[in-house]
Structure 1
């Protein structure tokens, strides 16, 4: 990193949460890369879909925001985030990518041009192939220069690392109730047409952010709407990913939001069904492991530990030596801030589970390990 990056990174270090990070970094970056408006959002590192929080600066946060993400997922666009997440360079300008013909992108033709946008600079904040955040900067005059694109690309990993740290799930407060899954149905046009009481219960606990009104009297957060749009994109063959995202609630717990499109008579496209439900340990395992910076191998070892395996059994399963397993444990303990295997399993699989796990006597048949010890 150069001296030019230092003020932005220093601002990122002072952030207290993800939304504060976006606000501080945006203000610092604007001095280096001038822009008129911006969108900063967290992303689910497994699916790349948008999740809370989101910061929208100098842009509409209602129907315009919904239209932006509708175009992102369902239109033929230049530089969709899903492609940029896999690109060699995680940042690119729209005019530069289209040879100064931005109208080649449906997003520009249908939305940005009418809002007076001249150019858009996008970036994915990523660590390896895991996207932790998405950024769009907009200018009403002048194109973004290659040097500005390169500067934002250089910030991708350090900002993703800071965002990952701030996204680390805190230990959830224990509770005994188990809210049932919430269900929302969308018609073929994408309009929400039905929702149960459990869905309303979960929606009321989602953080504030851009939302879209519906005929049901509910406002759907853009993260929920985006998951439903992704399900439609998969059904239409535009994407082969997963319509699944994890969202932290206002009381620090976690929900999993997942959607799929149903099939109607004669194989015709039917409605889309979206489910909101408390996240399980399996839902959070990778998210928590990523947040602590565990490598895929370290996560494997942690999962096998959660199953109750010994060092020798883990070594045999992974075809490595017991000495290598012990070395991995030292690194894992340091990253997770624990000193024992039991504390490690609790930190990654139990502390973040909503609701509290039942007592071991309620799990399985006699002689079987507890349910949380079979995660993985």
Structure 2
């Protein structure tokens, strides 16, 4: 086959996948559409699609798991990813020149070199895993793993190239869903919630504020606990990340993830390891709280694809600084400031500074009438949906 024909077929495959993704109305639908299209082009048996926090790369809502195990299996997969020595971990793919890699190719056809394969995948009948980070402007918006069971051929270079080529376009589509919704509303923000995890990772105690925050999270993979509720996999993974940092596996990492609630608000979930007597490892303290106003602006700026300089200028605008003072603060000319402001207005589809501030704050976080009942029941559709892992 000629190079020209290969390029033509690759472009056709990309267009085929993206044509479905572009019609998605939310992240979960994008995952489903893309997975369906990809399976026709490069067959696979199972898949995991997970949104990530673009700042830290940690998994967040939503997550789609197709034809794979239980909620406990999901937890073990991410525990291995964060705490064990693995081949092509997502944190490496996020920085790699090519953001996709196959397990068998990366291990020289010796997948047992990977702890993830030895501990989980091999016993589940998986023969190969092709994984990728969906990123744009060096920001990871999702991760994906495709699995082939025993008897299937390993993923080849053409398939790896196809998935890697979809990374940027899919990430660009995904970040749109972080934009504020005109209908986003919720109850007044409660106080920070606290969950404590024991040294072995089991949740041991929780306050009422944390229960309320957890009740507002989207449906998805979760694990049972002795606290009388199921813990979402995104919360568990944040606690695992804190353990990874304490063990020195993530020197520059942060155990912090932002999760969007069912009513369109954002929560921050961050964790750290405490010290016990004589310096021994203590519990992990995990705090869940509404995002600060400044952080909320950063999330939305990411969603609109603002550059670091455009974000700086946007933040100064929200503080009420005029063009001359912004130029002085950033050591650039007023003309350059105006050019950046024009670019920001274009990306965020506003025509004035007032509209910009409203887009960043008022539209995203306005109070609503309180709902009946103290704690809305959080239905866990993972218990009945075949395409999301459940226990």
Classify the TM-score, shorter chain: over 0.9
* Correspondence for 2:193: 182
Q: Deviations over 1:291-342 (max 9, x none)?
A: 0111111000001111111111111111211111111111111111111112
For residues 180 and 285 of structure 1, do their structure 2 counterparts lie closer, same or farther at Cα, with a shift above 3 Å needed? Answer: same
Q: Deviations over 1:1-43 (max 9, x none)?
A: 7112111000011101000000000000111111000000100
2:388 alignment counterpart: none
1:119 to 107, 118, 128: 128
2:217 is the counterpart of 1:209? no
Does 2:137 correspond to 1:128? yes
Q: Indicate the residue corresponding to 2:104 in structure 1.
A: 95
Question: Could you tell me whether the CA contact under 8 Å between 2:193 and 2:208 is conserved in 1?
Answer: yes
Deviation of 1:61 after TM superposition, in Å, equals: 3.4
Measured after TM superposition, the shift of residue 62 of structure 1 is 1.1
Does the 8 A contact of 1:281 with 1:350 survive in 2? no
- What's the TM-score once normalised by structure 2's chain length? 0.89
**8 Å contact 1:51–1:246 — kept in the other structure?**
yes
Is 1:4 matched up with 2:16? no
Q: Once the 2 structures are TM-superposed, how far is the Cα of residue 66 of structure 1 from its aligned partner? A: 0.5
2:312 aligned partner: 300
Residue 78 of structure 1 contacts residue 104 of structure 1 at CA under 8 Å; is this kept in 2? yes
- Following TM superposition, the consecutive aligned residue runs of length 4 or more in structure 1 with deviations greater than 3 angstroms are 171-176, 353-356
Is 2:324 the counterpart of 1:312?
yes
Q: For residues 111 and 309 of structure 1, what CA distance do their matches in structure 2 show?
A: 54
Query: Which residue is equivalent to 2:89?
Result: 80
CA distance in 2, matches of 1:171, 1:287: 16
Q: Gaps (5+ residues) in structure 1?
A: 357-376
Q: What TM-score, normalized by structure 1, do the two folds share?
A: 0.92
After TM superposition, the structure 1 = structure 2 runs for residues 22-61 of structure 1, keeping only pairs within 5 Å, are 22-61=31-70
State the number of aligned residues.
356
Structure 2 CA distance for aligned equivalents of residues 103 and 169 of structure 1? 44
**1:41-93 Cα shifts (integer Å, max 9, x gaps):** 10000000000000000002311010000000001101110111001100000
In structure 1, how many angstroms separate the alpha carbons of the residues matched to 2:244 and 2:100? 23
Please, which runs of 5 or more residues in structure 2 have no aligned partner? 1-9, 369-391
Indicate the residue corresponding to 2:172 in structure 1.
Answer: 161
Aligned residue in 2 for 1:236: 247
* Aligned equivalents of 1:176, 1:163: Cα separation in 2: 26
Highest relative contact order (Cα 8 Å, sep 6+), 1 or 2? 2
Inter-partner Cα distance in structure 2 for 1:56 and 1:169:
26
Distance 1:333 1:255, change over 3 A: same
Deviation at residue 354 of structure 1 after TM alignment: 6.4
* Cα drift, residue 128 of structure 1: 2.5
Match of 2:347?
335
Instruction: Say which SS state the counterpart of residue 29 (structure 1) adopts.
Output: helix
Residues 235 and 149 of structure 1: CA distance in aligned 2, closer, same or farther (over 3 Å): same
Q: CA RMSD in A?
A: 1.4
Further displaced range: 45-54 or 172-181: 172-181
| Aligned partner of residue 87 in structure 1, secondary structure | coil
Deviation at 1:217, TM superposition (A): 1.4
Aligned twin of 2:333: 321
**Contact 2:275–2:281 (CA<8 Å) still a contact in 1?**
yes
Contact kept? 1:279, 1:354, Cα under 8 Å: no
